[in-house]
Every structure is written in structure tokens, then in C-alpha cells.
A and B are shown apart, each in its own frame.
Chain A
Amino acid sequence: MNFFVTVRMALRALGANKLRAALTMLGVIIGVAAVIALMSIGRGIQASIQGQIQSLGSNLLFISPGAQTAGNVRSQAGTSPSLTYEDALAIIDTGRVPQALAVAPETGGFAQIVSGGKNVNVRVTGITPDYEQVRNFHAIDGDFITRDHIETRALVAVIGATTRTNLFGDGEAVGQVIRVNQQGVAANLRVVGVLEPKGSGFGGNQDDVVLVPLTTQFTRLSRNRTSRGGFTVSSVNVQLMDETAETANAAVQSIGDLLRERHRAAQDDFTIRSQQDLLNTATQITGAITLFLGAVAGISLLVGGIGIMNIMLVSVTERTREIGIRKAIGAKRRDIMVQFLIESIVVSVVGGGIGIAIGGGGASMLDGISFGPGPKLMTIVGLDAILLAFGVSAAIGLFFGVYPAIRAARLNPIEALRYE
């Protein structure tokens, strides 16, 4: 039978009971809209986290110390004081890691900062001038930490945009003196610069920081030393010459060899992760979130499908006589089945189309909305999500339409004609 004629027939049958068709469609509309909206939010989260990782600066390696082992008890990774300032310098100075452009070792901890009447608790990080380049984090006001500052163990600090607002409001920050008290070791530092705002990411607000020269952190703000007498750092960022995986792999290998040699430890007491590793982990996590959101929304789509089946069964019963007439004038089983199948597919596909419009529109409206001080919500309406939702809704129409359609097709023509 002609396909378009059948579709027209289906539309007429649905038009005969518009409210019912609309309500049936509503189930699919809500399901599809939910799938699209939630998947767009999931995608947005994924993209925003990836963006944050990339904003750390591209082509980076992160070296962190291994776990501290006491007896046979191994504690959390990064707790061992096994990574030193000297290790970081060796990566460049020995020339054994040709892929490395710059290194940015850092260490620090939370400290109480007092200036004027204000008293805030902020993370204080000791860094080197290369931090600016490696982490792509610049001062917009005043200067960054310089080589001179490192060599002289200068009592200076560069503060984040949020810290500056917290301490000085709208007033001038550069030139002010802040008192930093880190676990009982205190010093007065002069603010030489304010950092550009970067927004929040994981690990907290990147703008609520105080950066000090690494040597100042070692000597004036703490007393951490290794057993070998070096200054311990909590992590080393290594900037590579390019972003290729080969470069990253070769660098991981060379740095690993160098550190193993320097530490002479039986076991690796450090971890090297590339930015790609971080991205992969984040992608995995956010992918799982997206899938989970999609699955929750998928349940409502399933319920919508059951709604279609329910209505189609009612419709078959109501139209028993019509089916009898059609059979009497020569409709084959297949003709009847196709007719009812197309009806249910029309409901689900039209519903799916409306749902995509609503879900996509809703997601676009949510894009850029911020909830409180956190990062802005980001939504990405993907073509794949649209195609998926559309395909799934058509499949649902087909799947939940099959049983009622078979029931209709199997009706005995005489009994159907007698049906009142």
C-alpha cells in the first residue's frame, strides 16, 4: 500500500481524537526533551571541565611526589617529601629531557593573611618566574615574581583577583603589606602584583591565591627539608615543546629515568601525569555523568512509549469495526499492521520532534546561567544527542506499536464486523 496514503490515513485517525493524540504525544515530548536537555547539560559540564584543564596551559606534565610509607603502611599519594626543588631544576639543567621547555615547581599550604582589619585564609603557593609561562597565569596589575625575588628570597607576593577584593575591596593593592602566617611561621610581604581573573575550577577558586617566590616559601614561611637537605615541593609542572603524544611519552620516560637515578629508590617515589591523562580521567567522569543523566531521562521516554502502547491498544479495540470493514474489502494482515504501526510512529516521531525543539531550546536558554558564585552552567546541544533522541523515539513508536498492530491484524473479519 502507498506509504503517503497510509501516513495521511494515520494523521486523520489521530486527528479524530486530537486531545488523546496530544496527551499521548506529551509523554514522548517530555521524555525526549528531558533526554536532550540533560545530555546537553552533561556535555556542557564535560566541555567546561576540559576547558579548565586546557586553561592550565597546554602541553603540560605534572610530577607529584609518591606516597609516604611508614613500615608497611602506604598513605595518600603526594604525601612523601620525595620531590625537591633540585629535582625540578635538574630536568632543565642536565639537558636530559630535551622535550622540556620550562619547569614550574611549586609548594605551599593554607595560611592566615592579615592586612589592615581584614583576616582571610588563603592558599599560599611558592613558585618560580616560569610559573607565569607554564601555567599561563599573568599579572594584570604590577609585576609577576622575578628571578631577583627568587635569588634574594624577597618578601613579596602576587595575589589573585578574589584575594585582592577580599583584602582591599576596590582600593589599590600593589604596594600594600600583608602579614602571612603559615603554621606558626609568619612574615610581612609586600604585594607587587595582582593576577588576572581565571575563574573557579577544580581545586577551588583559582583567583583566591597568594603567590610568593619559592625560596621565600622555603626559608621564610616554612622549614620543610628532605633527609638529604633539599627543599621539598608538592608538585612540578613541566612545559613541553609541543602537544604531541610522542613528545609527552618521551618526556615522561626521560624524566622518570632522571628522577629514579637521582632518588636511588627501590620503588618509584613520584608520579608523572600528562595533561592528556587528566583530560582522559575528566572525560571519563563527565562521560559517566552524561550517560547517567541521559539514562534518567531515558526512563521517562520509556514511560512515554508505554503510554503510546496503551493508547494504541485502546484505539485498536475502538476501531475493531473499521478493521473488519477494511478486511472485508481486501486489506491483508500486513496492511492493517502497517496502518497501526504508522500511527504509533507518527505519534512518537512528531512528539520526538517537538521534544527536541523544547529540550534544545530549554538547554540553550540555560546556557550561561550562573547559580551563585560558582562557575556558569554551560550547555551544549549536540547533533548526536538530537539524532539519538529522534531515532530512539521512532524506535519506541515502532516497538510499542508492534503489539497493538499485531492484535489489530489478527482480528477475525467477521467478529470484527459484528463488533458494536
Chain B
Amino acid sequence: MMTTVANEHVPVIDPAPVVIRAEGLCKTYRMGDVDVRALRDASLEIRKGEMVAVMGPSGSGKSTLMNIMGCLDQPTSGEYWLDGTATSQLTDDELATIRNKRIGFVFQQFNLLARTTAVEQVELPLLYAGASQRRKRAMEALARVQLTDRWHHRPTELSGGQQQRVAIARALVNDPAIILADEPTGALDTRTSEDVMAIFQELNREGITVIFVTHELDIAEHTRRSVRLSDGRIVRDEPVPVERQRIARRVHEAPVVAT
């Protein structure tokens, strides 16, 4: 169930620091004999604490942009700065460290490891970070997505929404500055989507920059800014009108009285 309310939270006072800056990103894939230009001269700036929806039809370059922003991929030309660091000069291992510590990924297909319990899934990024107190921190992350009671369940024993919440816990366990979500509700029903969106909004209120890829308008309305891509170009970049912004509510919680 979704409600449209005026957003009285987080008035923009001082411009927050820029965490993501893309300048003239181009990405060309070679598929067989054809060059596919997934991104053409895309430029973008996202500040700390923003919640942004990246929209567009399939093949418009949304996922490519996400992959570059998430340091999974490198642009063919153009430059991408994350926290002021130009990523084109970084090695594979430095990019891996950024993915591990600065960025949390959430995927449409959850991308959990098979035969691995929820808490172990969440521990993985900590493991690669060489962190201590992994079990405790993983349990805390699971608590934030309200899955404490499911910590020892494997993906096959969890519903879609629960799997996505495990994936979110995994994304936020290393306290990333940015969460990148590629159609996180694409495989979920409306009710569960609402639940997942509520978690994202909560994380955003805590100061984490959240960026979505989606092609569902009502999902995009859970954010405050939407960036529209078409044929690899950014064709529109505008705030979501205040009257359309939605606040999601956690369905499994006692109803919260809207303020």
C-alpha cells in the first residue's frame, strides 16, 4: 500500500559534497561485427544523501551507467569520479576495494550465493574486507532489514522479498556511502516492493546515497530525483515533483502514523 504525502523531511540547506561525478561517459560494446554504443556522452553529478532513480526503456544504457558508477565497468571514454577519485587510473584490486567498502549493490535477481545461510551471505563483504567481528556486524545488518529470525536460512528457504532483504543487508554491512540498486523490485510483487522501498528510504534518511535503476514510475516516485536515459544519452534530469513523492511503509511493521 502506498501513500502520497508531502515530503517534509530533509530540507536541502547546504549543498552536500558531490559523491558521484561523471563527465562525458561513453561506452561502446562490440557485439559480433556491430559496435553497440550503450552510453553517449553522459554527464551527471550526484551529491551525498541524494536518492535518485535512473529510468529509461531497456537498452537505453541504464545498467551500463550503473555498472560504471559501481566500478564494475570502465567507460570507453570520459571520466568518472567517485568521492573525487578518478576511477580510470585505478587497478582491478583498487576497484574491488571500492566496491567492497564504498558501494553496496542490490540486484534484480538478488544474486545470493546458493547453499549459503543469510548471515554468511552478509558476512562475505566483511570477509573480503578482512574485518573482525563479522558475525556480530552481519547480525546487526540483518536486524536493520528485520531478518534476525531468518539468519540461518538458505536462499531456497526464503521468499523473494526476504532474499532481497538479505541482499540489502549484504549491501549495507560494510557501511557504504552509496547503495546502487539495479531494478531491486523487478522480481517482487507490489506489496513486497513497498516493503523493500521502505528500507531504501530509511537507509537514505540515515544519510546513505541511494541510486536506483527502474522502469516503473511508481517506484521512481519513491525518490526525489529522476534521471531519464534514452539511447545512451541523459535526456532529462529533474526533481520528482513534491506532490508525487511517496513514502513507503514497511508492511510487516505495525502501521506508522504519517506525520
B70 to chain A, nearest CB (A): 8
The interface size of chain B toward A, counting residues with CB under 8 Å, comes to 28
Task: Using A12-B115, A333-B92, A417-B111 as known contacts, say yes or no to A328 and B72 having CB atoms under 8 A apart.
Answer: yes
Q: Which of A1, A328, A331, A332 contacts B111 (CB 8 A)?
A: A328
A-B contact count (CB 8 A): 65
CB interface residues, B 144-188, toward A, < 8 Å: 170-171, 174
Instruction: Say whether A331 contacts B130, CB under 8 Å.
Output: no
| A16 and B114 alpha carbons, distance in the complex (Å) | 9
Q: Which of A2, A324, A328, A333 contacts B93 (CB 8 A)?
A: A333
Task: Using A16-B114, A331-B128 as known contacts, say yes or no to A414 and B67 having CB atoms under 8 A apart.
Answer: yes
**A326 part of interface (Cβ distance < 8 Å):** yes
Chain B residues in 8 Å Cβ range of A335? 128
A331 to chain B, nearest CB (A): 5
Instruction: Say whether B111 contacts A330, CB under 8 Å.
Output: no
Q: Looking across the interface, which residue of chain A has its beta carbon closest to that of B130?
A: A1
**A365 part of interface (Cβ distance < 8 Å):** no
Chain A residues in 8 Å Cβ range of B170? 329
- Centre residue among B70, B92, B107, B174 by max chain A CB count within 10 A: B92
Task: Using A322-B114, A330-B101 as known contacts, say yes or no to A413 and B72 having CB atoms under 8 A apart.
Answer: yes
CB interface residues, A 1-33, toward B, < 8 Å: 1-2, 5, 12, 16
Instruction: Say whether A332 contacts B113, CB under 8 Å.
Output: no
| A329 and B171 alpha carbons, distance in the complex (Å) | 8
- Centre residue among A2, A334, A417 by max chain B CB count within 10 A: A417
| A1 and B93 alpha carbons, distance in the complex (Å) | 14
B244 to chain A, nearest CB (A): 32
Instruction: Say whether B129 contacts A325, CB under 8 Å.
Output: no
| A331 and B93 alpha carbons, distance in the complex (Å) | 8
Task: Using A327-B96, A330-B97 as known contacts, say yes or no to A16 and B128 having CB atoms under 8 A apart.
Answer: no
- Centre residue among A5, A322, A328, A414 by max chain B CB count within 10 A: A328
Chain A residues in 8 Å Cβ range of B125? 329-330
**B99 part of interface (Cβ distance < 8 Å):** yes
| 0/1 interface trace, chain B 115-141, chain A, CB 8 Å (1 if under) | 110000000110111100000000000
CB interface residues, B 92-114, toward A, < 8 Å: 92-93, 96-97, 99-101, 105, 107, 111-114
Task: Using A325-B111, A325-B113 as known contacts, say yes or no to A330 and B128 having CB atoms under 8 A apart.
Answer: yes
| A284 and B14 alpha carbons, distance in the complex (Å) | 88
| A115 and B107 alpha carbons, distance in the complex (Å) | 99
| A1 and B128 alpha carbons, distance in the complex (Å) | 6
B residues bordering A, Cβ < 8 Å? 67, 70, 72-73, 92-93, 96-97, 99-101, 105, 107, 111-116, 124-125, 127-130, 170-171, 174
